[in-house]
């Protein structure tokens, strides 16, 4: 089976494909005025022009109603800080920012008067952009249909790289890291809260991910579709990105495009940034995967997980490819207290490396060498950084050989990185940008700039007792066989007792019975051509996955089974869930 880079979810309902079909839906033709709420990143001018090509109506773009740049900067400052990478979700004595906070009250009041006058004089109005529904509140547009133009975060990042501005910073950034930080810490979260507040009232959902081929579906059909998603296994749409250390394995195994020199990352289950492809009758809409998390958190996550994490998907699966590539940056992650105090996070980025494939000399770096104190390491690190010399990493950090199917737990506070020659399935907690790079082997980023180093943060969180003795006792060869029944074996492979994710590996050549136990499961087929996931009660249609494909089993599914596509083939499946 070929790795599916565009997995679709078949749902009931109708899609309208193309601007002509969208403009001629009854929702549009029966109503001369429209409210078009847009997620940041949507081309608002393009949407207005598409709904009214002849400009016969009054167009209102909420970008024109924002506070002046200096006032927006004052609001953003407590959240963004001066760091290129890190901001905070919860600055002291500061409430979360909403879309409406960035609109100028005087301009909004004036536009509301203008809308009322125009409509009362017999005219029609199209108002579009982030905050459109808020601006229309209390005006003659209150009863106008509400259209929501949505966009996945990965598409937004693609547009930022192409030189597009953002809702809060209309001028293109010259630093992609700062652009991402603005979205991650403020813009996207405020837009998500706005979207969920409006979700039940939306009459038409609009997908302009491909601006030349827009699609839409009714609000009723979209709400029904998202409800159906959490009743079955599903995959998010993966995306892949090059990097300075990237390798060639994913390009070959997944048949990825030849454009980039390499692929470093593959994001196969990061619902905050991935999308879903909802295949309606008439077309397939691409929608943010975060919508199903925010809309149906308890059905998806399970009650105990939802009570602990709220409407956040806490497990992340992604790929790191260093085969024929280079070493990742030497790094460390903060513990939960540090993450909460410095960044406003409710949990931190514990993680693990599952080795899907390995070259003969593959290795990982993990833990300080015995006899090395954090002070010794950081003294050597500062000397190398300030003097422009090299750092003898293996003197201070354990260089461990690795092979296919090894699984390394990496609790927060442990120095680590994947070395050259590894194809890593990274199984971790979701706060994925909180990596403190310590040493980057003297490289520049793909943008030609030095990659950010956070040695001060690293020195604050690196745990000095995580040495080779600790690694041998706590990390290496920790797999525990839980069930052995003929050719079937179930093992607990991790993660470390201090981490909240439990991983089980199943070796099987026939049907295996599973139960979610009121917790979402995230799985990946780590060996074998393919597997079929089924419901013992036929509650969902058989779902087929191929090698290395990650998929989600919502908590509400309950009982499910998996078996090889090829009868009798020896397969391996890794399954991650939240410990409760």
- Sites in the chain below the pLDDT cut of 70: 170, 172, 432
Rounded CA-CA distance 568/69 in Å is: 64
pLDDT of residue 284: 98
First to last CA, the chain: 35
Whether residue 427 contacts residue 410, with contact meaning beta carbons closer than 8 Å, is answered with: no
Chain centre distance of CA 348 = 15
pLDDT of residue 309: 94
pLDDT of residue 170: 66
pLDDT of residue 425: 98
pLDDT of residue 433: 83
Nearest 10 degrees: Cα torsion 36, 57, 144, 221: -50
pLDDT of residue 198: 98
Going along the chain from its start, the domains and CATH numbers come out as 8-229+272-290 (3.40.50), 299-474 (2.60.120.10), 480-578 (2.60.120.10)
Q: What is the H or E stretch that residue 501 is in?
A: strand 501-508
This prediction's pTM = 0.96
Whether residue 126 contacts residue 36, with contact meaning beta carbons closer than 8 Å, is answered with: yes
Whether residue 224 contacts residue 200, with contact meaning beta carbons closer than 8 Å, is answered with: no
């Amino acid at each position: 089976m070929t790795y599916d880079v565009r997995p679709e979810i078949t749902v009931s309902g109708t899609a309208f494909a193309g601007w002509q079909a969208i403009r001629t839906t009854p929702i549009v033709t029966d109503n001369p005025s429209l409210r078009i709420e847009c997620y940041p990143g949507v081309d608002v001018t393009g949407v207005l022009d598409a709904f009214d090509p002849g400009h016969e109506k009054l167009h209102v773009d909420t970008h024109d109603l924002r506070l002046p740049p200096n006032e927006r900067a004052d609001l953003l400052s407590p959240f963004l800080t001066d760091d290129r990478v890190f901001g905070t979700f919860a600055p002291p004595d500061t409430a979360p920012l909403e879309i409406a906070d960035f609109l100028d009250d005087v301009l909004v009041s004036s536009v509301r008067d203008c809308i009322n006058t125009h409509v009362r004089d017999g005219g029609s109005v199209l108002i579009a952009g982030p905050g459109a529904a808020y601006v229309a509140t209390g005006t003659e547009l209150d009863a106008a249909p509400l259209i929501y133009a949505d966009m996945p975060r990965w598409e937004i990042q693609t547009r930022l790289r192409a030189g597009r501005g953002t809702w809060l910073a209309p001028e293109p950034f010259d630093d992609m890291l700062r652009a991402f930080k603005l979205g991650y810490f403020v813009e996207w979260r405020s837009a998500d809260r706005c979207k969920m507040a409006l979700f039940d009232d939306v009459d038409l959902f609009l997908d302009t991910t491909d601006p030349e081929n827009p699609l839409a579906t009714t609000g009723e059909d979209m709400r029904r579709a998202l409800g159906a998603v959490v009743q079955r296994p599903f995959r998010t749409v993966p995306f892949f990105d090059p990097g300075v250390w990237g390798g060639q394995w994913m390009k070959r195994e997944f048949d990825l495009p030849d454009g980039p020199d390499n692929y470093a990352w593959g994001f196969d289950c990061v619902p905050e940034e991935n999308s879903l492809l909802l295949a309606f009758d008439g077309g397939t809409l691409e929608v943010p995967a975060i919508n199903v998390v925010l809309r149906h958190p308890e059905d998806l996550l399970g009650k105990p997980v939802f009570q602990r994490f709220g409407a956040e998907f806490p497990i992340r699966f992604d790929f790191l490819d260093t085969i024929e590539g280079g070493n990742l940056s030497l790094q460390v992650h903060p513990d939960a207290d540090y993450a909460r105090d410095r960044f406003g996070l409710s949990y931190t980025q514990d993680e693990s490396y599952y080795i899907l494939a390995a070259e003969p000399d593959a290795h990982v770096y993990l833990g300080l060498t015995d006899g090395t104190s954090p002070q010794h390491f950081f003294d050597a690190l500062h000397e190398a950084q300030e003097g422009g010399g090299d750092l003898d990493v293996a003197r201070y950090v354990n260089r461990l050989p690795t092979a296919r199917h090894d699984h390394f737990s990496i609790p927060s506070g442990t120095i680590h990185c994947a070395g050259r020659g590894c194809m890593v399935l990274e199984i971790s907690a979701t706060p994925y940008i909180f990596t403190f790079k310590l040493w980057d082997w003297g490289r520049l980023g793909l943008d030609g700039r030095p990659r950010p180093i956070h040695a001060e943060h690293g020195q604050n969180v690196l745990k000095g007792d995580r040495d080779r003795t600790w690694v041998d006792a706590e990390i290496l060869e920790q797999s525990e066989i839980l069930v052995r029944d003929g050719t079937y074996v179930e093992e607990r492979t991790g993660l470390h007792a201090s981490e909240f994710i439990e991983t089980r590996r199943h070796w099987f050549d026939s049907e295996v019975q599973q139960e979610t136990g009121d917790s979402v499961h995230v799985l990946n087929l780590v060996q074998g051509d393919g597997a079929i996931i089924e419901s013992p009660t036929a509650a969902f249609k058989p779902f087929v996955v191929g090698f290395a494909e990650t998929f989600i089993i919502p908590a509400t599914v309950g009982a499910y089974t998996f078996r090889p596509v090829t009868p009798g083939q020896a397969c391996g499946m890794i399954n991650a869930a939240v410990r409760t």
